Amino acid sequence: MSTASPTSPPAIPPAANESCWCGSGRKYKRCHKPLEGRVLPGVVSPMRTVPAHIPRPPYAESGEVRRWNESAIKTPDVISRMRHAGKMAAEVLRLAGEFVKPGITTDAIDAYVHDLCIARNAYPSPLNYSGYPKSVCTSVNEVICHGIPDSRVLEDGDIINLDVTCYINGVHGDTNATFAVGTISEQDANLIRVTEECMWRGIEAVVPGRPLSDIGKAIEARAKQDKLGVVRAFIGHGIGEQFHTDIQVLHYYDARNNTVMRPGMTFTIEPMITLGTWQHRMWDDDWTAVTADGKRTAQFEHTVLVTDTGVEVLTGGTGAASPAAPWSR
């Protein structure tokens, strides 16, 4: 007769040299003890459905992303539609951030974001993008990005990034922000503040005729002032009729990121800033990226448009979680 292994740790954990509670047969100190305090995967509920009347992006049914050669310079019509999608995504993100509190699950946040999108006749862009199973990314504590909403309950003192993208009128609007769950430490509060500042420093560096590397230079310089790490594996991207286009926006300085910014370009700026190393590792779900040292990380993101004189933030302004640069508010 076999006995099922426990799925959650006991109230009183074993001693370091005792067998781990999970039933692996390994000593606790070499099995689950190193994971204490870390975010662990929960149960992922079935993929939610979208009403038939809501227009879908090409990957919605199959999960297969097929790229095409979308112009880097958007037409006035596309830009107009992107302004609307951006404003909508900003509103959904703000409302989702207000929904965050101790005691709710990230799956509940997903259900809320899903319903907010549907109520606005928008398709939640992450849903089934390359098979992603949810309508929003929920990245808690040491999770850098692409955390999948599940049964994990948010705890007082957590921090959580919510990454919202809305597809409406044939274009995507993409934005994210990091929120406090209840009362957080001053260290975590500073991490969130600096990360938001990093994003806005990057946005200020958007100047027509200048290389994209200016953005990474500005972000990295601000992060270094507080001795924080800048994640390198995940970057900003072009966006428009496709969720991701060929434009690549590094959040650290690399002279090779030398594409010249031109009026009409649209892309995201979304730095991920860490308390420790910039290096990452992946969970077995092939989506969730976490810091290699388990230290916390934050992220902010806006979709921007290069204009003739500078930059327009398509997901900022009134009603956004991060409406404008902190020093200008």
CA 299 distance to own-chain centroid: 7
User: Where in the chain are the domains?
Assistant: 55-60+71-323
* Structure-token pair, residue 220: 């990295």
Residue type at 103 in one-letter notation? G
pLDDT for the residue numbered 183: 98
pLDDT for the residue numbered 5: 43
pLDDT for the residue numbered 247: 98
Q: Which helix (H) or strand (E) holds 216?
A: helix 213-225
Nearest to 244 by CA among 108, 8, 72, 115: 72
* Structure-token pair, residue 153: 């309950």
Calculated CA dihedral for residues 244, 314, 122, 178, nearest 10 degrees: 80
pLDDT for the residue numbered 103: 98
pLDDT for the residue numbered 30: 67
Nearest to 326 by CA among 192, 226, 216: 192
Q: Cα–Cα distances in Å, from 198 out to 47, 137, 298, 303?
A: 34, 21, 11, 15
10 Å Cβ neighbour count for 180?
18
10 Å Cβ neighbour count for 238?
20
CA distance 271 to 4: 42
The tens place of each residue's pLDDT in the chain, 329 residues long, gives 333 445 556 767 788 788 886 787 887 766 766 666 799 999 999 999 999 999 999 999 999 999 999 999 999 999 999 999 999 999 999 999 999 999 999 999 999 999 999 999 999 999 999 999 999 999 999 999 999 999 999 999 999 999 999 999 999 999 999 999 999 999 999 999 999 999 999 999 999 999 999 999 999 999 999 999 999 999 999 999 999 999 999 999 999 999 999 999 999 999 999 999 999 999 999 999 999 999 999 999 999 999 999 999 999 999 999 999 999 99
Fold for 55-60+71-323, please state it.
Creatine Amidinohydrolase (3.90.230)
Do 191 and 296 touch, CB atoms closer than 8 A?
Answer: yes
* Structure-token pair, residue 309: 């004189």
DSSP sequence for 83-143: HHHHHHHHHHHHHHHHH--TT-BHHHHHHHHHHHHHHTT-EETTTTGGG--SSSEEEETTE
145, β-bridge pairs = 289
Q: DSSP character for 19?
A: B
Residues 6 or more apart whose CB falls under 8 angstroms from that of 170 comprise 55, 81, 241
Nearest to 261 by CA among 209, 314, 326: 209
Longest CA span, the chain: 73
Residues 6 or more apart whose CB falls under 8 angstroms from that of 173 comprise 82, 84, 85, 86, 87, 88, 89, 90, 165, 166, 303, 314, 315
Residue type at 34 in one-letter notation? P
Q: Cα–Cα distances in Å, from 288 out to 19, 34, 110, 178, 179?
A: 28, 19, 16, 16, 18
